[in-house]
A and B are shown apart, each in its own frame.
Chain A
Amino acid sequence: MQNNQMHSPWSFIAAVFLLLLLSTVTADAHAHLVEAAPAVGSVATHAPSEVVLTFSESIEPAFSSLEVQDETGHRVDKDDKHVDAMNSHILHASLKSLVTGRYHVFWRVVSVDTHVTTGDFIFQVNP
């Protein structure tokens, strides 16, 4: 009985240690924009159907945002931003039908170690 009483807390501690080990993800630095489609400052000859942003680190879907506005400030995305299922570095947002003009992309992402980064860029549609 004495030995069992001594072993049970050690088993508990070992179990917690394993849980902590398994639940921990890599701690990364701030997530910076690595690649964008449409590209930053580009002129697209075909209206894109979505905006795809690739970041340097894995990002959290919750509290990350991606918004696209036209020249008048109206939103032209479908408010369906989501992190890529296969690659947690990529953020998508679908777009409504775009006409010729300039569009402004605003993004805010939270990396998995809670660092927040924001940014924006312009692209044009000119078929």
Chain B
Amino acid sequence: MIVITAIFQAIHLAALLLMFGFAAFFLLVAMPVVRKVIGGAGNLKEFYEWSARWLTFMMMVAIAAEIGCFCIQTISISGLPLWRALSVDTLEIVGTQTSFGRQCLLRLTTLVFAGGYLLLKARNVEKPSSTWMMQASAVSAVLLFSVTLASHAAAGGGGALRWALVAVYAIHVIASAVWLGGLVPFAYILASTRRSYAGPWVLPAKEITQRFSTVALISVGLLMITGLLNAWIFVGSFSALATPPYGYLLILKMLLFATMLGVAAQNKFAITPQLDISSGLKRIYAFRPLRKLYRNVVLESVLGLAVILVATLLGLSPPAIH
């Protein structure tokens, strides 16, 4: 049951991270580069429409995962047979008489109404809209923050200490959303460069790579600082790392993170310098490193999904320090 719960929660978290990451990538990387390099919004329109479609799809996934989590937790906490646990009466009791249920319903309501509003606005906007993206990122940030309020961080201490821990965890989650969530739209742009030397994204590819690299570097820095703080608070000592399952899961998460860092470092220091696309001939030579970069970004994305699953399992396990 705990594995099924973890899967649904991981899907929910991944959907929210991707929503925020898509919006952040558009606002911080794609839009500034395209307007600077090309001088127009031609390529941006197609990318915006693609991002908006995926963003709304992620909202649907988040809604479905939230419903799944609600049902799974109802089965778990009611202790009733499946057919009785998922009856209207039981679901109503959970939704109205438990803290978890009330929060779940509020998040679902937010997703449905905010998602509906964003979908409606997306259809009525004919050109790339930074306002729409900012609203989408705000909705996903609010929902991500609600996830942090249900985490181990929110259980630690009282008063100011509790809110300090929540703030640390919130920064950790948002930083991961910017980095992990931004990998998918970045992969999309790199994939389009593989199809043609004359494609719309070939010319700005290097600048986009460098800009995303900078954004990711800041995110990684924040992740390391907040990650170390969380480990110090919820593990407490090196010996506690040997405490199953929390300690082992944390070691696994750190190993996955280190692997991602290694891949990102190769992207930044070995591949990006080869992306000289200033002339027609050089564009041809840049094709190989672009393909390599694309493969690495896909690898990072897969590792990122694994990190999200491990992080969800950590959230379901009692901290090692307890």
Judge: A and B partners, yes or no: yes
Chain A residues with a Cβ under 8 A of chain B = 6, 9-10, 12-13, 16-17, 19-21, 23-30, 60-63, 108, 110, 112-114, 116
Asked if B149 is at the interface (CB within 8 A of a chain A CB), the reply is yes
Is the pair B149, A27 in contact by a Cβ cutoff of 8 Å?
yes
Task: Determine if B93 and A26 form an interchain contact, defined as CB atoms under 8 angstroms apart.
Answer: no
Which of B97, B142, B154 is close to A26, meaning CB atoms less than 8 Å apart?
B154
* Contact residues in B for A16 (Cβ distance below 8 Å): 106, 110, 114, 142
Instruction: From B10-18, B30-38, B71-79, B258-266, give the one contacting chain A.
Output: B71-79
**CB-CB < 8 A to B117: which residues of A?**
9, 12
Encode B55-98 as 1/0 by CB contact (under 8 A) with A.
Answer: 00000000000000000010011110000000000000110011
A116 to B80 Cα, complex, angstroms: 13
- B150→A113 contact, CB < 8 A: yes
- Residues in B neighbouring A116, C-beta threshold 8 A: 76-77, 79
**Contact residues in B for A19 (Cβ distance below 8 Å):** 106
Whole-angstrom distance between the alpha carbons of A29 and B154 in the complex?
Answer: 11
Q: How many residues of B contact A (CB 8 A)?
A: 37
User: Given A20-B149, A62-B97, A114 and B114 touching (CB < 8 A)?
Assistant: no
**137-169 of chain B: CB within 8 A of chain A:** 138-139, 142, 145-146, 149-152, 154-155, 162
Q: Is the CB of B73 within 8 A of A27?
A: no
Contact B150 A62 (CB under 8 A): no
B322 in the interface (beta carbon within 8 A): yes
Q: How far is the CB of B320 from chain A (nearest CB, A)?
A: 12
> What distance in Å separates the Cβ of B127 from its nearest Cβ neighbour in chain A?
15
A-B contact count (CB 8 A): 87
Chain B residues in 8 Å Cβ range of A28: 155
- With A17-B145, A60-B98, A110-B77 known to touch, is A27 a contact of B154 (CB < 8 Å)? yes
Q: A17-B142, A20-B146 are in contact. Are A27 and B152 (CB under 8 A)?
A: yes
Contacts of A17 in B (CB 8 A): 142, 145
Q: Which 3 A-B pairs have the closest CB atoms?
A: A24-B149, A62-B97, A20-B146
In the complex, what's the smallest C-beta–C-beta distance from A78 to chain B, in angstroms? 21
Q: How many angstroms from the CA of A62 to the CA of B77 in the assembled complex?
A: 9
Within 8 A of A (CB), among B102-155: 102-103, 106-107, 110, 113-114, 117, 121, 131, 135, 138-139, 142, 145-146, 149-152, 154-155
Find out whether the CB atom of B106 lies under 8 angstroms from the CB atom of A62: no
A13 touches B150 (CB 8 A): no
